[in-house]
Copies of this chain bind each other. A is one copy, B any other.
């Protein structure tokens, strides 16, 4: 490919993703996932298959956050995938919240279908008590805690598992809402209310730090209104993030379960005086849906933009091959990858038998933060050309290999900080204050408007007009932000 052709390619007016965000945001979202090769719909109703590039992103998140959890004193465990139906039924609100969307296991054997081809559940192998595939694990972990917690010395007990859970969703969308999804679920027990509350707030801060420092994703911390609480919780805290279409996404939650599950699961301890008391428990999670959030917070009309600290590939090296001097270029590309890996960076060499523009556009659509182009002339001069994914050609720079490597940490930090600043600015610009329900109604009635809408908490409480607005415009309370001293509430459309 000639330099002229490449330049022309750089300038091509079309976007890599069709439709654009402005044209059709939901379709753009699906197209970005496909173009970036992150995941696809599985041949199992409502389930997704997470492809290597998408799963590498999730693994990076796990790797960072798991260390933080362990520093906090968390111990990872593995609890069963199946939960007896009677366990789920122990906590009244909890079962109400989950029974309607469970995958129910009723048999333990298949047999040849006597009425036709294929297999059927063997009637003789029907279970006495059915199981559900865990939608969440409070009840089964609560059962273990009832045996593991005996004395005040056993508290606090801080457990976690990384796993997938299953909720039979009727309308699904990759990463955002799928029947099976991946998450970590922390479950802790404390001696008193204060311990549980502090845990919820500490973990919420940890999520916030993780989202801002690694995902470049700002959020609003707050507490849920009662109708939006986790089924069985006394209090649910959350981080709400704003997508580019003005819809909210709940990125993480922490739940103070009070003594509800301790009572239904019988988690009791003897205090120092030998008196028995119920523990106070918490649970909290973030899930693979944050990958959906990353796409919708950072993506542009050319595809995904990966926050560089969490990106599966921080740098992609594209050898520009022209038939002449290719060996030297490939060798230099290979050397560069080795040097970058040795320096602790995640560097990918695109050695595929594909044309250079294909490789470039694949890297763009995948959102690789730093794209390095290496041609024969650059190799001869000991140089390379690099460009940032988020700002494109304005950041294009040719410099020596050593200077590039030396400057890479700053390049990554700069890109991260710029992405966070852009998303923060967007969130702030799309947070609107309204003074009453009439203004709130007017806001959502205007099809051109979307975002976080902030109103006095007192204006909505026990107000049938607010319930009518919620229903009419499919909006919900997102959270009561900590920042407003509990006097305001944010309303919005949500994923």
A residues contacting B by CB (< 8 A) are 42-44, 47-52, 55-56, 58-59, 75-89, 95, 99-111, 118-121, 125, 130-133, 140, 143-144, 153, 159, 163-164, 166, 168, 180, 182, 352-353
A171 to B: closest C-beta gap in Å = 14
A105: contacting residue among B120, B133, B164, CB under 8 A: B133
A109: contacting residue among B47, B77, B102, B163, CB under 8 A: B102
A445 to B: closest C-beta gap in Å = 36
B101 adjacent to A47 (CB under 8 Å): no
A113 to B: closest C-beta gap in Å = 10
Supply 5 A–B pairs (Cβ within 8 Å), ascending by A.
Answer: A50-B77, A52-B76, A58-B78, A81-B180, A104-B109
Secondary structure dominating the interface of A? mixed
Q: Given that A79-B42, A133-B81 are known contacts, is A109 also in contact with B118, CB under 8 Å in the complex?
A: no
A50 CB contacts on chain B under 8 angstroms: 77-78
Q: Given that A49-B78, A180-B80 are known contacts, is A102 also in contact with B106, CB under 8 Å in the complex?
A: no
A397 to B: closest C-beta gap in Å = 31
A84: contacting residue among B44, B56, B82, B121, CB under 8 A: B44
B132 adjacent to A110 (CB under 8 Å): yes
A80 CB contacts on chain B under 8 angstroms: 42, 44, 47-49, 180
Docked CA distance A370–B28 (Å):
57
| Closest B residue by C-beta to A87 | B43
A88 CB contacts on chain B under 8 angstroms: 110, 119
A255 to B: closest C-beta gap in Å = 22
B99 adjacent to A140 (CB under 8 Å): no
A180 CB contacts on chain B under 8 angstroms: 80-82
Docked CA distance A105–B109 (Å):
11
A51: contacting residue among B77, B87, B107, B119, CB under 8 A: B77
A120 CB contacts on chain B under 8 angstroms: 85, 130
A102 adjacent to B108 (CB under 8 Å): yes
| Closest B residue by C-beta to A39 | B78
A44: contacting residue among B56, B106, B131, CB under 8 A: B131
A153 CB contacts on chain B under 8 angstroms: 352-353
A104 CB contacts on chain B under 8 angstroms: 105-110, 121, 125
A82: contacting residue among B44, B87, B118, B352, CB under 8 A: B44
Q: Given that A85-B118, A119-B85 are known contacts, is A49 also in contact with B144, CB under 8 Å in the complex?
A: yes
A355 to B: closest C-beta gap in Å = 13
| Closest B residue by C-beta to A169 | B108
B95 adjacent to A102 (CB under 8 Å): no
Q: Given that A78-B49, A118-B89, A121-B130 are known contacts, is A99 also in contact with B84, CB under 8 Å in the complex?
A: no
A118 CB contacts on chain B under 8 angstroms: 85-86, 89
A103 CB contacts on chain B under 8 angstroms: 82, 105, 107-108, 131
A87 CB contacts on chain B under 8 angstroms: 43
| Closest B residue by C-beta to A83 | B44
A76 CB contacts on chain B under 8 angstroms: 52, 55-56, 59
A353 CB contacts on chain B under 8 angstroms: 153
| Closest B residue by C-beta to A76 | B55
A102 to B: closest C-beta gap in Å = 6
Docked CA distance A410–B351 (Å):
42
A95: contacting residue among B48, B119, B121, CB under 8 A: B119
Docked CA distance A85–B103 (Å):
15
